[in-house]
Amino acid sequence: MLVDSDFSAPLLESIDDPILRAHDIALSMLRLDRIHPQISGNKWYKLKLNLLAARAQAALTVLSFGGAYSNHLVALAAASKLSGLRSIGIVRGEAPRVLNPALQFAQQQGMTLHFVSRGDYRNKADPEFTAALERRFGPFYLIPEGGSNLLGVQGSAEIAGHLRWQREAGPRLVLMACGTAATLAGVVSAAPSGCEVVGISVLKGPDSLSPQVSTWLQALGCNAPARWSINTKFHHGGYGKTNAALNDFMAGFESRSGIPLEHVYTGKMMWGLYKMIESGEIAQGSELIALHTGGLSLNISSW
């Protein structure tokens, strides 16, 4: 069974550039993307308790959902293989003629890929849809898309234990990208007192994540969580969307810091962070910790 000792502790890397110095901002990045060569970022934290629950229920198979470039399915395929479990990935969209690197990797790890139409995929939470999958594949332990259930939130709370502050005084903020906000809910539930947790939504449209965060916190009995908020201004057109400005920003940030970003999550988080600094939304003298939650699955060929 895959265990915590198979993973490296995430390191905090300090980032220095003229914008930060001009605003007296101390910025570090918590490198969750470096904890394991195949199970990157926040994925392990959301998967670990689910895999333990599958074992406790004597399940032999785990099943979950994702898009064609899903880092969740990549991580689940690797974690399942290392845990001695069979895995099934329900993939949104028609089967391509040639699998992309993410799906190739998942398949190489033993994951059975089952493609469904986008219309059918929208029914993934429907009990009838689940029953049809059980008739097709047999019994399985179901993990929601992204590993975003209460067990995923509880596992993500562990991330807060890796936060380390260097300044003795001043505002303290933890920032992360949000797709389902399960990781944010976990960090909020366990964050040290005196800091604020800010999520940068990668979804276009009104804030649909905050009510779910509140529901998870209530389910955890977290009556006095850290201050938190979700910013919806930096999605660059919606989930998975990018543009020249964002691409140029990511290239410049990597050149200055040596830390790679991607356009779905971490690129938008860091873009939003710098825009908030420049606009004064983040006060001078603040200390920031940004979570690098992985997402670099296109680098699979280099593993």
Q: Give me Rg for the CA atoms of the chain.
A: 19
Last residue of a domain, one of 150, 167, 198: 150
Domain boundary among 102, 118, 150: 150
pLDDT > 70 in the chain, percent: 98
**297 confidence band (pLDDT: 50, 70, 90):** low
DSSP-derived secondary structure for 149-169: SHHHHHHHGGGGGG-----SS
Mean local confidence (pLDDT), 79-90: 97
132-169 per-position pLDDT tens digit: 999 999 999 999 999 999 999 999 999 999 999 999 99
Its domain, for residue 241, covers 4-35+159-302
For the chain, the residue count is 303
Beta bridge partner(s), residue 79: none
- Same domain, yes or no, for 127 and 269? no
Which residues, 6+ apart, have CB-to-CB distance to 131 below 8 Å? none
Based on the fold, state whether residues 265 and 119 are members of the same structural domain. Answer: no
User: Which one of 125, 150, 175 terminates a domain?
Assistant: 150
The answer on 90 and 28 residing in a single domain is no
224 and 176 fall within a common domain: yes
Do both 170 and 200 map to the same domain? yes
In this structure, the answer to whether residues 96 and 192 fall within a common structural domain is no
| pLDDT given at position 1 | 84
The pLDDT assigned to 298 comes to 46
Same structural domain for residues 172 and 278?
A: yes
Supply the pTM of this predicted model.
Answer: 0.95
168 and 296 in a common domain: yes
Average pLDDT (243-248) is 97
Clarify whether residues 97 and 231 are in a common domain: no
Same domain, 168 and 30: yes
168 and 288 belong to one structural domain:
yes
Question: 141-142 and 227-231 as β-strands: parallel, antiparallel, unpaired?
Answer: unpaired
Residues 197 and 105 in one domain: no
**Looking at residue 67, which CATH number applies to its domain?**
3.40.50.1100
Task: Specify the DSSP class assigned to residue 302.
Answer: G
Number of domains in the chain: 2
Query: What is the distance between the terminal CA atoms of the chain, rounded to a whole angstrom?
Result: 22
